Structure 1
Amino acid sequence: MLTNFKKHIEENFSFLKGKKNLIACSGGVDSVVLTHLTKNLNLEIALAHCNFSLRGEESDGDEQFVTAVAEKLDIPIFTETFDTHKYADEQKVSTQMAARTLRYNWFEEVLSNFNYDYLLTAHHLDDDLETFFINLSRGTGLNGLTGIPKKNHKVVRPLLNFSREEIMNYAEANKLKWREDSTNQKTDYLRNKLRLEVIPYFKETNENILKNFKKTQDNLIASQNLIDDYISLVYKLVISKKSDSYHLNIQKLQELPHTDELLYELLKDFGFPEWNDVSNLLDAQTGKQVLSKTHRLLKNRDELILSEVVKNPKEEEYLVPEEGISAPIKLEINQSIAIGETEKNTIYLDAEKLNFPLKLRRWKKGDSFKPFGMSGSKKLSKFFKDEKLSATEKEKIWVLVDKNKVVWIVGKRMDDSYKVTDKTEKIVEITYVS
């Protein structure tokens, strides 16, 4: 196996050479074999071990064992102990999910704090097959059937081409020692049930199942790559970026075959829970929207607007002194001797009518102002409607206020009450630097 592993690294993971590599080592046979293989190839490695405090003395024994492996091989080791049950209760997640979150968050800290380039995990071909069955049982698209990626950003899985049997044979031939996790023999979890009961049956009926699975998976990956290339072309055709939102042209999308499928591929990564609601937006009235935990999809006339959900926008409020501010937006305030060229991003005000510090905040329901050049007042909501602003555009509007009186809808229109007249003695110039 060492010869095949060396060839595999040279052909597919040559970028690991000369880099600092951190190995996630549980003490099980898979991670122990990965440690020995990479050590034999003279890669620069260190071990990272998580003690989740889930199996009492057994968990502590795993930590002691991994520490001993590191000492024997003369390589650095990092260990961390977690109160996994407490974290799971606090976050209201399963123990498995808690352990996964704690593990990868800590790995990221070690990578960053100690300048390691990659995290190596010992996932192998049998793990990949188990993941395939898990995703299949839960319902998934093509992407969910392509398996565990060999590389995902800094996470690298160099054993994915090797079976559990090959790993065990290497460990036994080289008289390696490892730790057995007693929970791996319990069938409470779907993965364990597949590993202990389902997949062995498949192997009995077809000894080439792993080889055939690998071939099938390669075909699925090739198909997914083809789809990804096509979606990239569709993206350029139907989506445009405006400020910090994305606008999808419905007419252009509907001119293409398989509209719903294309919409899914374009938006599948944004976590919308009910896909039918997303699809129905294509024919919905303006103003209809669908929310995920992180994003909003809004129907606005002949387009769908995708934007991040703004958290508590009404609560943001910032004092604006006479010298201006640089965040959350940049406002430059200067004294002026005359009115310059009128622009949406620059206004000229009668200084004596202003009471500094001003306030910058999001607009609120009920806000009104006297639009520059008009005699009467108007609700901001009515002004936005006249301007044909979408819901997401309205959410991002800032207003500059003086004692709760709107001075300027930033970048849009100022209040007529603050305009410069022939009686004005001091002029203030305010510029929004976008």
Structure 2
Amino acid sequence: MNSAKCVIAISGGIDSVVLAHLCQKLNISFALAHCNFNLRGKESDADEEFVLDLADQLDVEVFIQNFDTETYAKENKCSIQMAARELRYDWFSELAQQLNFDYILTAHHADDNLETFLINFTRSTGLNGLTGIPALNDNIARPLLPFSREGIETFAKAENISWREDSSNTSRKYLRNKLRHEVVPILKEINPQLIDSFQSTLQHLNDTADIVEESLNAVAKRAIERIDENYVTFKVSEFKKVNNPKAYLFEMFKDYGFSEWNDVVNLLEAETGKYVASNTHKLTKHREFLILTELCHSGQSEESLFVAKDNPSVKTPIGILYFDDQDSFEDNSKTTIFADAEKLKYPLQVRKWQTGDIFYPLGLKGKKKVSKYLKDEKLTPIEKENTWVLTSENKIVWVVGRRADERFKVSDQTNQILKIELKA
């Protein structure tokens, strides 16, 4: 890292100040980046002044950013702590990208790691929530993770390093502070070597996590049938083969917001069409498959588009529809149909199919519900949901990309032929 260009996230507290001094001792090229969240009035401004003075002392470049944290928290409906975190990391990332810093250094240490472990432990979490803060996550590096808060303070005093004390660190209203001041001291009283024991436990947990990931990747490789732009299809049979399907389903789908894991497991034996939804995704049973989609690609949409007469094309979510007068016609295909232009009443409408839609499939006698047609075509739920129709006075001209309607076909009496083509 000595040849890398780094930016240190510095608050003015002991941890980040020590990190800055260590980087200077190691001749690492670095700048300082300080966030003033404007939450503690004059104290926040004094922190900013301290960082500016420290930059002068260390003879390094410094960047200061002021935030209206309370307004951001209200607008985004999140806690002050979460708002500060989002603002901080978004700015660090932007800074690193614009000025070509190789790494963003933060001063998280072993006690921070323990507190994070305990926070996750008190909540619902899997193995990954108990493996600690990563030492390196993309371009965010945490070089002080092996060191305890006590060790950092001992070093700072030995080197006569000055720092700022954040008064909010003594407040018990935050969970992290309650753990820091009330729970961790008791644990250290029980085991004076708590931090060393914890570091060892983390190593064992991370080793186990590697084994889990290897096994998960093997199952995923066998289970994933297809990866499409809008969905991923998994074989149900591969989940049934493992000893603990629920554990594999949890690990495979935990990042998609699902929480009702018994319902997810029940999908393995459910009928086609059953699904479980989170705030962002949907997992649907379709025959012998589970289909994962984003909610923005699911559900019937009210969206529709209108096509005026003589309009040569219209862009739709499934491609571009082209309309062109012809002197002759060919056989219809899935992507091209020929219609009797005089039977069309403008404006035409392009919309998603709706429950209750009927049409007269070209070449067949009588009418058919679009829902029954799509079922008979053995389409997946995602293909059904992304099916659009072209209509004239709400009569279906074409189930787009699938079947034209008998009522609008070209016949011996046709005087004007319209070619309608779908291109991706």
TM-score after normalising by structure 2: 0.89
Distance in 2 (alpha carbons) for counterparts of 1:118 and 1:318: 48
For residues 53-132 of structure 1, the aligned pairs below 5 Å read: 53-132=38-117
Amino acid paired to 2:355:
K
Asked if 1:405 is matched to 2:398, the reply is: no
From 368, 385, 404, give the equivalent of 1:395: 385
Amino acid paired to 1:291:
A
Distance in 1 (alpha carbons) for counterparts of 2:81 and 2:26: 33
Offset at residue 211 of structure 1 (A): 1.9
Asked if 1:349 is matched to 2:339, the reply is: yes
For residues 83-232 of structure 1, the aligned pairs below 5 Å read: 83-232=68-217
Deviation per CA, 1:224-270: give whole Å up to 9, x if none: 11111111110111122253212222223212222221221211111
How many residue pairs get aligned? The number is 419
Change (3 A) 1:120 1:406: farther
Alignment partner, residue 384 of structure 1: 374
From 391, 405, 414, give the equivalent of 2:404: 414
Distance in 2 (alpha carbons) for counterparts of 1:47 and 1:354: 68
Change (3 A) 1:87 1:349: same
Change (3 A) 1:191 1:347: same
SS at match of 2:301: helix
Alignment partner, residue 328 of structure 1: 317
Distance in 2 (alpha carbons) for counterparts of 1:349 and 1:111: 58
Asked if 1:317 is matched to 2:311, the reply is: no
Offset at residue 67 of structure 1 (A): 2.4
SS at match of 2:96: helix
Deviates more, 1:159-168 or 1:330-339: 330-339
Deviation per CA, 1:120-160: give whole Å up to 9, x if none: 21111111111112212224221111011122223222221
Distance in 2 (alpha carbons) for counterparts of 1:242 and 1:398: 22
Change (3 A) 1:29 1:401: farther
Alignment partner, residue 48 of structure 1: 33
Change (3 A) 1:18 1:152: closer
Alignment partner, residue 33 of structure 1: 18
Offset at residue 297 of structure 1 (A): 0.9
SS at match of 1:78: strand
Asked if 1:268 is matched to 2:254, the reply is: yes
SS at match of 2:334: coil
Distance in 1 (alpha carbons) for counterparts of 2:91 and 2:142: 18
* Matched-pair contact (CA < 8 Å) for 2:300–2:354: no
Offset at residue 307 of structure 1 (A): 0.7
Distance in 1 (alpha carbons) for counterparts of 2:317 and 2:278: 25
Amino acid paired to 1:99:
A
TM-score after normalising by structure 1: 0.87
Deviates more, 1:320-329 or 1:249-258: 320-329
Distance in 2 (alpha carbons) for counterparts of 1:417 and 1:156: 66
CA RMSD of aligned residues (A): 2.6
Offset at residue 317 of structure 1 (A): 2.9
List alignment gaps of at least 5 residues for structure 2.
none
Offset at residue 185 of structure 1 (A): 1.2
SS at match of 2:122: helix
Offset at residue 189 of structure 1 (A): 2.0
Alignment partner, residue 374 of structure 1: 364
Change (3 A) 1:91 1:76: same
SS at match of 2:39: coil
Alignment partner, residue 226 of structure 2: 241
* Matched-pair contact (CA < 8 Å) for 1:331–1:430: no
Deviates more, 1:34-43 or 1:223-232: 34-43
Asked if 1:433 is matched to 2:423, the reply is: yes
Q: Percent identity?
A: 48
Distance in 1 (alpha carbons) for counterparts of 2:394 and 2:52: 63
SS at match of 1:138: coil
SS at match of 1:290: strand
Change (3 A) 1:38 1:409: farther
SS at match of 1:401: strand
Distance in 2 (alpha carbons) for counterparts of 1:137 and 1:88: 24
Distance in 2 (alpha carbons) for counterparts of 1:258 and 1:144: 20
Distance in 2 (alpha carbons) for counterparts of 1:299 and 1:375: 33
* Matched-pair contact (CA < 8 Å) for 1:27–1:179: yes
Distance in 1 (alpha carbons) for counterparts of 2:220 and 2:374: 29
SS at match of 1:310: helix
Offset at residue 111 of structure 1 (A): 3.2
Distance in 1 (alpha carbons) for counterparts of 2:270 and 2:87: 42
Distance in 1 (alpha carbons) for counterparts of 2:300 and 2:260: 25
Distance in 1 (alpha carbons) for counterparts of 2:67 and 2:170: 23
Distance in 2 (alpha carbons) for counterparts of 1:128 and 1:228: 22
Asked if 1:286 is matched to 2:266, the reply is: no
Deviates more, 1:347-356 or 1:72-81: 347-356
Offset at residue 340 of structure 1 (A): 4.5
Offset at residue 58 of structure 1 (A): 1.0
* Matched-pair contact (CA < 8 Å) for 2:4–2:103: no
